[in-house]
Amino acid sequence: MLRYLNQLSRGRGAWLLLALTALALELTALWFQHVMGLQPCVMCIYERCALFGVMGAGIAGAIAPNTPLRWAALLLWIYSAVEGLRLSWEHTMIQLHPNPFTTCDFAARFPTWLPLDKWLPAVFVAGGDCAERSWMFLSLSMPQWMIVVFAAYLIVALAVLIAQPFKPKRRDLFSR
């Protein structure tokens, strides 16, 4: 299985699948925001950024899967999954244990060199409350589902990382 994961990481298909899953989740978040009218909170915006990191890793890996760029994409994938998992966990704790002294910011804080909330306000401007549970599915809130998503991304990324030293077997029809 590790050889198979190594082989997949050297092709474009798996990287494109990674990017497409993150894109589907981003589009779902935008559908919740703009169609259903659920305003994202600051933590939701940061979780979106982590998803964009996973999507960027998928695009970078698909560009050149047989070069060292694959390693950069894999590291970006792991970093984004870890950060997304951390943010989702923190967001879930705010929702499950509301405290007037532990709240999220009023607006997302982006670096001055990357003002995403100014460039794309329809995607990166927060208007909701982090402690509010406005959507539930199978008794889990949205940040709890994002814990599941980012944990899955992280598990797969670590499996792909572990598989990197296991080169695929060369199958030659005429050799012994």
49: annotated active-site residue: no
Tell me which of 3, 12, 44, 49 is the catalytic residue: 44
130 is catalytic: yes
Does 41 qualify as catalytic in the annotation? Answer: yes
Strands 136-137 and 140-141: antiparallel
Q: Looking at the DSSP assignment, which residues form a beta bridge with residue 99?
A: 102
Q: Which of 130, 133, 171, 176 is catalytic?
A: 130
* Rama region for 66: left / alpha / beta (φ>0; ψ in -120 to 50; rest): alpha
Which residue among 41, 109, 133, 176 is the active-site one?
A: 41
**Angstrom distances, CA of residue 117 to CA of 27, 61, 70, 79:** 17, 27, 30, 22
Catalytic residue among 10, 49, 86, 104: 104
Cβ-based neighbours of 165, under 8 Å, separated by 6 or more: 6
Contacts of 131 (CB under 8 A, 6+ apart): 94, 95, 98, 103
Select which of 12, 48, 86, 170 is catalytic: 48
| Residues known to be catalytic | 41, 44, 48, 104, 130
